[in-house]
Structure 1
């Protein structure tokens, strides 16, 4: 009888210890990995993919969503903001030019190719296809502002090289970024627009891809990523490593981004 009683006491003690250990483990997993915060400045076309990646990251590290703030805009606009002192820790540009301009001023570190994209033409869902062959018939052509939106520059370059810019320019409607171009087409406010393949896929229920623009008509569409020197901290380094990991590349591919050409 005494033996059974002793065994019961031992078992209760073991269960209590296990319970304490489990509680300690649970408390440890709930604690955030850091109290630091960062701001990521990213090309507007990255929004869908980056929001998914951010959600995955903050969950893995038990962070508050506001600890990883992402600002989306045209790459030229973001570059100007960083030059003027915006608290950005990471910059993802939709072209190399804007990243190079910041790098030449000594503002960037760890620049590397991130993803590649494709320029396409889109029309409202179910509407007649518009291609470069018949674009001069379109009454309203939406493209991103050439000075600040890389997709707009790629669109103008393509139309110029195809000897179409002079005929199309009077009908051009400029938008602040590719997301705005997509919105114009989805709402039927323009007949055709130039966006990235990733933007078109995100709007597949509202727009149709009417043509893929020949890559020979414009420069390579590659997005570099880099760290803004003066605003980096440990969270910057860790999130940058996450974004450039194999896990992240699989999410980016799901959103239509291609692997960049490694140099």
Structure 2
């Protein structure tokens, strides 16, 4: 479904060219889940953003990102917009900055359906309520009329997830979806991803620095350091028999 081949990402800065992703290749099949794990600065987010063409203008991207036999790097902004949300969606790291503070949740959800699926406002509202219920939000009729600042951190994250799945995308990219959440809410969010995978048959790419949350969620694991892949394979196998010292170090932090 998604095949990344020999991907390089660098950024032009006043100090010179900075490499972020260095010759990365991987693939993800339908209904498969892949965790990309590494510390801050390892290239995880730059890799995710490159898939949907979300990098800054000073970025240089080379290689191939093939989705349904199309190299996404060859598409213009208009063509990419047809894929974003509807085919491949992304959940950004911080809901507080990703959600619009001046718009009610209802409008933010409805806009996606109106723009990508051609729904009327009434159709969009009905579907928005249904999707809020599917991400385990209690009292969707109340939450849909709230502003972002009126919601808890866990609730904001559920709204972000709702926005990402509302068009039933084939691939969901989640960038650090449990950051700043307490352990109980982290567990609930990861359980939610398992439910989404089953309900929508979506593939999930989970970007995280937390090895502890991936074992029961993702079947494949990719460990990155310094923009390179240190290890890639079956999650249980890597947890049981890590080959790279960096991976072993990450696993030592798992309770």
TM over 0.5: no
Task: Give the structure with the higher percent helix.
Answer: 1
Return the TM-score normalized by structure 2: 0.29
Task: Give the structure with the higher percent strand.
Answer: 2
Return the TM-score normalized by structure 1: 0.28
